[in-house]
């Protein structure tokens, strides 16, 4: 049956599409042997195919570089190799067995966990407080935002000599303590095992709190202001609003920051390398990244270092998945 505008197309009893006329009166060619379902599948295939060339370069780059290198590292981790000689000696899982009996490895894991917990908690608290305070009517709020974010754009390689001098036995920090009558607290901050790791934590908090602040500032901007005003009308104070409205409203941002902080802790390398000289003193600032470097470059145990790299990758994946699951469960309970 034709429509009011003269177009008609319909299925033949046999299932084939018959010819019809378009709204302009032109004939539509028949497509013998094709049903509407087959025609629809062909149309979808034509729509999908143009996108394939766009993703092929990224796919080739990802598979050819990243995943190939991961597979090659996994193979090297089963070898005893110095990274130079053409011959490798297969040791199976021997490198992994050595790792789990290596006290320095467990020290690096412990330092990573302590580093993550302290830096994440402090950065979360300070960043959220800055975000909440700067949402209020504060004079020179733009200046404060710049001051908080400036450390993020400063390269660790530039700031490392500054920190080494600041925390030296005759550095500015000890000079300040002596000047205000607290000379008994002066320490060789990066030269003793009890204070070297806290110094690295403090520098990291100073450097990356700006990122936490920016993300929390954006997240708190999305919270419905009418909820806050309604809570104030009901007599809720600032702390109650922070705990009951703002903190649940930024849960997704907190999970994302936890994942970034955990992976960042696992990848920590530059500050211990530049400030405390590759995990010193006496392995007090040894992380997995610095231990891999030490085994690869200094000691030429490339197979062992490759096994450490694979363990680092697995741990990072497991932590990211666990934090994602925890975040989704918390969101589902809401």
The pLDDT tens digits of the residues spanning 165-175 come to 999 999 999 99
DSSP letters for 223-268: S-HHHHHHHHHTT--HHHHIIIIIHHHTHHHHHHHHHHHHHHHHT-
Distance CA 193, CA 267 (A): 21
SS3 79: strand
Q: What is the mean pLDDT of residues 94-111?
A: 95
Q: What is the mean pLDDT of residues 7-25?
A: 46
Cα–chain center distance at 237: 34
The first and second tokens of residue 257, run together, are 């920051």
Contacts of 96 (CB under 8 A, 6+ apart): 77, 307, 311
Alpha carbon distances (Å) from 301 to 160, 242, 292, 304: 28, 51, 9, 5
pLDDT at 39: 54
Q: What is the mean pLDDT of residues 3-15?
A: 46
Nearest to 288 by CA among 257, 250, 319: 319
Burial of 262-299, coded b for 16+ CB within 10 Å and e otherwise, reads: bbbbbebbebbbbbbebbbeebbbbbbbbbbbbbbeee
Cα–chain center distance at 94: 31
Q: How many CA atoms lie within 13 A of 107 on its CB side?
A: 15
Q: Give the confidence band of 237 by pLDDT, cuts at 50, 70, 90.
A: confident
Lowest mean pLDDT among 21-35, 54-68, 92-106: 21-35
Say if residue 254 is exposed, middle or buried (CB neighbours under 10 Å; 0-12, 13-18, 19+). Answer: buried
Going from N- to C-terminal start, the domains of the chain cover 101-333
Q: Who has greater pLDDT, 332 or 189?
A: 189
101-333: in CATH 1.10.3720.10: yes
pLDDT at 9: 46
């Amino acid at each position: 049956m034709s429509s009011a505008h003269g177009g008609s197309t319909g299925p033949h009893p046999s299932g084939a599409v018959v010819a019809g006329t378009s709204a302009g009166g032109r004939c539509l060619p028949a497509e013998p042997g094709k049903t509407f379902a087959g025609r629809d599948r062909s149309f979808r295939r034509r729509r999908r195919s143009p996108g394939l060339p766009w993703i092929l370069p990224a796919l080739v780059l990802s598979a050819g570089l990243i995943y190939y290198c991961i597979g090659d590292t996994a193979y090297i981790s089963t070898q005893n190799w110095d990274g130079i000689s053409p011959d490798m000696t297969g040791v199976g899982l021997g490198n992994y067995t050595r790792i789990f009996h290596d006290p320095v490895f467990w020290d690096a894991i412990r330092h990573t966990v302590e580093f993550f917990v302290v830096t994440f908690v402090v950065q979360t608290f300070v960043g959220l407080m800055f975000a909440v305070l700067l949402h209020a009517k504060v004079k020179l709020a733009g200046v404060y935002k710049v001051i908080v974010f400036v450390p993020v754009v400063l390269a660790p390689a530039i700031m490392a000599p500054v920190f080494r001098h600041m925390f030296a036995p005759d550095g500015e920090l000890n000079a300040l303590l002596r000047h205000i009558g607290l000379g008994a607290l002066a320490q060789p901050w990066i030269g003793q095992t009890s204070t070297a790791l806290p110094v690295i934590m403090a520098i990291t908090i100073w450097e990356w709190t700006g990122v936490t602040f920016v993300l929390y500032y954006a997240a708190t901007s999305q919270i419905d202001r009418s909820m806050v005003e309604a809570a104030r009308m009901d007599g809720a104070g600032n702390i109650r609003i922070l705990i009951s409205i703002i903190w649940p409203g930024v849960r997704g941002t907190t999970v994302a920051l936890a994942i970034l902080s955990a992976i960042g802790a696992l990848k920590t390398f530059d500050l211990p390398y530049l400030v405390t000289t590759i995990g010193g003193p006496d392995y007090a600032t040894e992380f997995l990244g610095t231990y891999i470097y030490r085994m690869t470059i200094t000691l030429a145990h490339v197979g062992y270092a490759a096994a450490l790299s694979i363990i680092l990758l697995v741990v990072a994946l497991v932590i990211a998945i666990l934090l994602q699951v925890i975040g989704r469960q918390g969101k589902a309970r809401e």
